[in-house]
A = this chain, B = another copy of it.
Amino acid sequence: MSDAAEGSVGIVAAQRVVIDTPLLLDCGRSLSRHELMIETYGTLNAERSNAVLICHALSGDHHAAGFHEAADRKPGWWDNCIGPGKPIDTNRFFVVALNNLGGCRGSTGPSTVDPQSGKPYGPDFPLLTVRDWVRSQAMLADRLGIARWAAVVGGSLGGMQVMQWAIDLPERIANAIVIAAAPQLSAQNIAFNEIARQAILSDPEFHGGHFYDHGVVPSRGLMLARMIGHITYLSDAAMRAKFGNELKVAVPSFNFDIEFEVESYLRYQGQAFVDRFDANTYLLMTKALDYFDPARDFGDRLELAFARTRARFLVVAFSSDWRFSPARSREIVKALVDAGRDVSYAVVDSQLGHDDFLMPIPQYHAVLRNYLLRVSDEVGATIGVPA
């Protein structure tokens, strides 16, 4: 369990999976086929019982661990948690990460060329729900020959997919690990998303979502959207500790140049995001967040939604998270308890805010590790040298 025992999954290659089965979506439309980019780490055991699905958050993708090339500066987005000897231990589990349908990292989404028109789908790509993602991920599981996940794991929007898995396909998920999530967005959460959307939609270079045809991207709007998001990912205290509120310059410039460290940080984050993310996918992701409300079909009684579940739950919240605070996780836990389900709950002492779900906080990783060791024992996961 020491750091010395932890390793990297090393060089990994993404795979493209074509799903030919028609997918009926919540919006009423259907996709006759779709493609998903995935990565897998570790080895599926003979019983096919040790598979773990990683669901990503708003801007995540299938590259969750390891490196694509030896020269890569950064590993996958959850490399600190996934690997040999790590909390999601690839010596024990066969880990599957995907880029969700609607994404912009290779899976079918708004920036994909529509075979019918020969142009990117753009705004004609259907808006999706968390339920749609679960349906798509279930088709992926079928393709991989995984009848039942040992665990489905996700933080933030990823945690919402985990809950929906447990509700919609109770026989196909043994353990649901829901991290830094909420049972539905608050009005404030929706407000932040709406402003981000308006920033994109009102950018003249958005062109109603057909910006691909104009050879431009709505960079101003997408940059603003990302900056707004970043405020909600960090706690007030973390921003203070990280940036202070001191001027970067000795005397005020009395213009709108960058003067404060936090301005510099936000502009950098916003600009970097424009270079790697699609505006239509951003809109789609925020809308999926807003729509998520598994209790809606059960008379707004979350415990009735959870009464259908069969998984054991681990719910993890972070003390400094104000986007999806521990109070929101307690709503999930209370509904699970009311539904008579088996649930463990941990609140991790943290500083950074919502982004802590991506951080290697020892208490957090210990909670995941210990929970998953029990899962590993129960499903007879492979222990030893990966293939």
Contacts and interface: CB of A to CB of B under 8 A. Distances in A.
Contact of A187 (B126, B127, B240, B254): B240
A231 B192 contact: yes
17 contacts: A27-B254, A187-B243, A188-B234, A188-B262, A190-B262, A191-B263, A192-B231, A194-B263, A195-B266, A198-B223, A198-B224, A199-B199, A202-B223, A204-B204, A224-B224, A254-B287, A259-B290
A227 B185 contact: no
Interface string A234-250: 10100110111100000
A224 to B, nearest CB: 6
A228 interface: yes
A211 interface: no
Interface string A289-307: 0110100000000000000
Interface in A203-256: 204, 220, 223-224, 227-228, 230-231, 234, 236, 239-240, 242-245, 252, 254-256
The 9 closest A-B pairs by CB, nearest first: A187-B239, A27-B254, A202-B220, A187-B243, A187-B262, A127-B254, A188-B236, A194-B263, A195-B227
Contacts of A283: 256
Overall SS of chain A's interface: helix
Contact of A228 (B27, B228, B252): B228
Interface residues of A, number: 55
A21 interface: no
Contacts of A220: 198, 202
A191 B239 contact: yes
A261 interface: yes
Contacts of A262: 187-188, 190-191, 194
Nearest to A194: B263
A201 interface: yes
B245 A195 contact: no
Contacts of A27: 252, 254
Contact of A260 (B236, B270, B290): B290
Nearest to A263: B194
A230 B192 CA distance: 10
A143 B243 CA distance: 43
B224 A263 contact: no
A341 interface: no
A128 to B, nearest CB: 9
A247 to B, nearest CB: 8
A224 B199 contact: yes
Given A127-B254, A187-B242, A254-B27, A231 B197 contact: no
A28 B251 CA distance: 11
A40 interface: no
A186 interface: yes
A244 B184 CA distance: 11
Nearest to A192: B231
A211 to B, nearest CB: 15
Contacts of A230: 191
A270 B191 CA distance: 12
